[in-house]
Amino acid sequence: MGALVSFQEGSELLQELAGVAVGDRQVERTAETLGQEIAAIEQRHSEPLDTLPLPPTLYLGIDGTGIPLRAEEMTGVAGKTAAGAKTREVKLCTVWSAESFDSEGTPVRDEGSVSYSAAIKSAFVPNIAKEGSAFAQRVWRETQRRRFTQAARRIKLSAPPHQTLHACSISWYISC
């Protein structure tokens, strides 16, 4: 519920729809706990989705943006100024197919083909690192799960590397 509406709205919906009184902080704690459990499972499992046909073209989108967080969640986080950070960067990896085209010849995303993987994880890795960053590993797991490297045509979309991620950390895992 925490992914669809605010924790307060989730609390109100539980009361209205199920007659269950759950405070917004409890909805938040439950959503966070569930999110941690899902993240742990995601790190252990990246089995390919081989029960579905592999589309000829798969797209991989990678991006990131700064999101504001509560002050207590920013404690100890270095920022651009001595005052500390005001935001944290959330990074997103998405894989989808688009086999049809609109009237202008622009690819149209296939319904139900999009998968997302996002986290507040570092994309930085020194050039001498032996493995990719936490975010690069997340991208690798999702591309393996979606069989991105097996598609006949692979298209990667991202902002310039200096803006969203360390280019080498992703390139080590995924080549087109």
Condensed to tens digits (0 to 9), the pLDDT of residues 85-120 reads 788 888 889 999 999 999 999 989 999 899 988 888
* 90 and 11 belong to one structural domain: no
Quick count: other Cβ atoms within 10 Å of Cβ 49? Answer: 12
Q: Would you state the pLDDT for residue 90?
A: 86
* 99 and 40 belong to one structural domain: no
- Pick the range with the lowest mean pLDDT from 24-28, 68-72, 120-124: 120-124
* 65 and 39 belong to one structural domain: no
Range ranked top by mean pLDDT from 36-50, 127-141, 146-160: 146-160
**Boundaries of domain holding 35:** 7-44
> pTM for the complete prediction?
0.67
* Structure tokens, 26: 């409890």
* 37 and 113 belong to one structural domain: no
Average pLDDT rounded to a whole number, residues 59-76 = 83
Cα distances from 22 to residues 32, 34, 35, in angstroms, run 15, 16, 18
* 62 and 39 belong to one structural domain: no
